[in-house]
Structure 1
Amino acid sequence: MDTLPEPPFAPPAGPSRDHGGNLDAAMARFGGDRASWLDLSTGINPDPYPVPEIPAEAWAELPRRTEIARLIAAARAAYACPARIVPVNGAQGAIQMVPSLRAPGRAAVLGPTYNEHAAALRAGGWQVTEATRLAALHGADIAVVVTPNNPDGRHNDPETLCALAARVGLLVVDESFADPEPGRSIAPRLDGGLPNVIVLRSFGKFYGLAGLRLGFALAQGALGDRLAELAGPWPVSGPAIEIASAALADRQWQAETNARLTRDAARLDALAQGTGWALVGGTPLFRTYAAPDALAAQNRLALSHVWTRIFPYSERWIRLGLPPSDRWAQLETAFSAL
């Protein structure tokens, strides 16, 4: 997809790094404690994977190579990826490695999207252009595409991305929200023909365990070797290895979670559209709507202690994650007051 849904995108003027998850600011302004708030400002599964019992040695000892290899094997099977898989401190950890992979030059980011890509590149000395069309990425020394995109859910299919890879120096494909739709991932194509592609995957979003700080960078050959070198010998913790190795292999939980997320996303769409908001797009983990006044809508929901995400480049877009299964009533009450 090479077009942008309304409203039109105007890139931020500076290296803004605003994010969701800023619940402290909401509580300071609107009152209440953490338990009273429904934080929908991030796209994290609100019903997380059940954490298994963690062996004592996972806390007390550095991870052994065999344990890291077990995690990598689980990720390889889950992502159907034949390339090198490098565990990192969340997808964010890999984002911060990317500027070091080459001498600074010209980078292009397909936007509007997660702002850490552009911010990390700028901090690393790169000249960054934020563009709304894939064609504008051609010729960049580093090009970044988030798919499905945050916040509008745009997809770029693997064939399109393979073609783009041939026209840029290094292509970073951020698939942090791709778990519910594995058939759209480019990761299985990292089998020898895409030596200049890095795929980023987030563990915490789909599995609802963002505090674990775990992600993966997938790449072939020398590029994969360089990422592993930058990650260091102990890139993730022992408890993260234990939990993620189990979760990545749990196909039944994954299927049940996909079904629930799909149902809940449709339920949220119906609630928002009943208020008059138009669906811009999203994924099964978050939805973005066009409201008459996004800031006013955010403030009204905040009075009911429901926190959402708005964006500096649009006066209309508002994004909501999904509530936990036992908190829908609070969200429905908040919407009734709009």
Structure 2
Amino acid sequence: MDHASSDPLRHHGDVDARPGLLDFAVNVQGSGPPPWLRDRLVAALDGIARYPAAAHDAQAREAVAARHGRRADEVLVLAGSAEGFALLPALRPRLAAVVHPGFTEPEAALRSAGVPVVRVQTREADGHRLVPAEVPAEADLVVVGNPTNPTGVLHPAADVRALAAPGRVLLVDEAFADAVPGEPETLAGAADVPGLLVFRSLTKTWALAGLRAGYALGDPALLARLAAPRPPWPVSTPALEAVIACSAPSAVAQAQDAADRLAVARAAQAERLGALPGVTVLPGQAPYLLLRLPDGCGERVRGALRDAKIAVRRGDTFPGLSPDHIRVAVRPADQVTRLAAALADAIRMTNGTVVG
């Protein structure tokens, strides 16, 4: 659903990726899950005549706990990270601080519930580096992505840990952490950080956006507060099966192999697009690139790319970015060639002259 007309915070990449367009707007990798995972999900359909079972949920929590070196009661299985963000008002924060540019759904959910929100803006001139001291001391909920969407910046774990404080909940959105080789700077296994919540998603690496599967990690009492408003059976049987399957050691190894390949493709795509006149590729480590286009060209370039049947993620709905920022997913080389050619043409047309 396109919420952008009423609330820019609720504009997401799927709105930009209309059918028939080459999709650089959504960060899902591939067109569907691998065959072995698809087979697991198809087999799970035999059980959908029954309500999701508590034993199945327990099995999913145990699988996630083993994957991250946590206890099963430190895991809450979610219908995607988006469900977790929707539950944040249940924590009853007095003041939430959200680090931007970042994924906008946490702020949208909090504001919709009447929670006061302050934005902590990172700066492009500083590489969008997180500065913990800039978070207001009175904030009792802090939200940060790592790596951050859309900048792709991977903050040092020590800087993220520095955001923890007595009486504060620190939420780290690690939706793309498994797409970075070795998962550096993750806090998924950090049971020693008081008030820490970590959200993980299976959507991106495993091409499961339509299934809605993810999980939260944290202290059991904190997870219980978060889950208090949930309806019965919030996570479907196929989603529980996906969490179990994708947490297995063999799946984790496969995800890391994919992350290694993705890092190589990302570097090549960054070099290719960064060579275009007027295009700046901002530094990052994620399965997407944040680009800055020539001043004043962004909206017209996006329109020209749409005319060329290519979808990119607009940047101006992310607080702190401008219409001249776009985010593009990492894609195979042949698709990057098509994007690079269309982007070069679009910039030439919008500038009104041949550049370079």
Partner residue in 2 for 1:114:
103
Per the TM alignment, residue 110 of structure 1 is displaced from its structure 2 partner at its CA by 1.0
Partner residue in 1 for 2:124:
none
Counterpart pick for 1:288 among 279, 287, 290: 290
Partner residue in 1 for 2:14:
21
Q: Any idea what SS the aligned residue of 2:144 has?
A: strand
Counterpart pick for 1:61 among 36, 50, 55: 50
8 Å CA contact retained: 1:107, 1:129: yes
Determine if the alignment matches structure 1 residue 134 to structure 2 residue 132: yes
Partner residue in 2 for 1:95:
85
Q: C-alpha separation between the residues in 1 aligned to 2:198 and 2:246?
A: 20
Per the TM alignment, residue 87 of structure 1 is displaced from its structure 2 partner at its CA by 0.8
Per the TM alignment, residue 235 of structure 1 is displaced from its structure 2 partner at its CA by 2.4
CA distance 1:39–1:226, shift in 2 (3 Å): same
Determine if the alignment matches structure 1 residue 151 to structure 2 residue 135: no
Partner residue in 1 for 2:281:
279
CA deviation profile, 1:241-276 (whole Å, cap 9, x unmatched): 223322222134213311221122122212211213
Determine if the alignment matches structure 1 residue 268 to structure 2 residue 269: yes
8 Å CA contact retained: 2:79, 2:239: no
Opposite residue 309 of structure 1, the aligned amino acid is R
The percent of aligned pairs where both chains have the same amino acid is: 29
8 Å CA contact retained: 1:43, 1:205: yes
Aligned residues: 313
Q: C-alpha separation between the residues in 1 aligned to 2:79 and 2:12?
A: 18
Q: Any idea what SS the aligned residue of 1:198 has?
A: strand
Q: C-alpha separation between the residues in 1 aligned to 2:8 and 2:89?
A: 15
Mark the runs of 5 or more structure 1 residues left unpaired by the alignment: 1-13, 28-33
Partner residue in 2 for 1:297:
301
What is the CA RMSD across the aligned residues, in angstroms? 2.4
TM-score, normalised with respect to structure 2: 0.80
Partner residue in 1 for 2:223:
224
Opposite residue 275 of structure 1, the aligned amino acid is L
CA distance 1:106–1:297, shift in 2 (3 Å): same
Counterpart pick for 2:60 among 71, 79, 82: 71
Partner residue in 1 for 2:339:
331
8 Å CA contact retained: 1:49, 1:207: yes
Q: Any idea what SS the aligned residue of 2:238 has?
A: helix
Q: C-alpha separation between the residues in 2 aligned to 1:124 and 1:226?
A: 16
Opposite residue 15 of structure 2, the aligned amino acid is N
Q: Which runs of 4+ in 1 moved over 4 A?
A: 324-329
Partner residue in 2 for 1:9:
none
Q: C-alpha separation between the residues in 1 aligned to 2:153 and 2:166?
A: 21
CA distance 1:166–1:63, shift in 2 (3 Å): same
8 Å CA contact retained: 1:217, 1:227: no
Q: Which aligned pairs between 1:237-256 and structure 2 lie closer than 5 A? A: 237-249=236-248, 250-256=251-257
8 Å CA contact retained: 1:271, 1:335: no
8 Å CA contact retained: 1:291, 1:316: yes
CA distance 1:252–1:156, shift in 2 (3 Å): closer
**Deviating more after overlay: 115-124 vs 154-163:** 154-163
Q: C-alpha separation between the residues in 1 aligned to 2:171 and 2:45?
A: 37
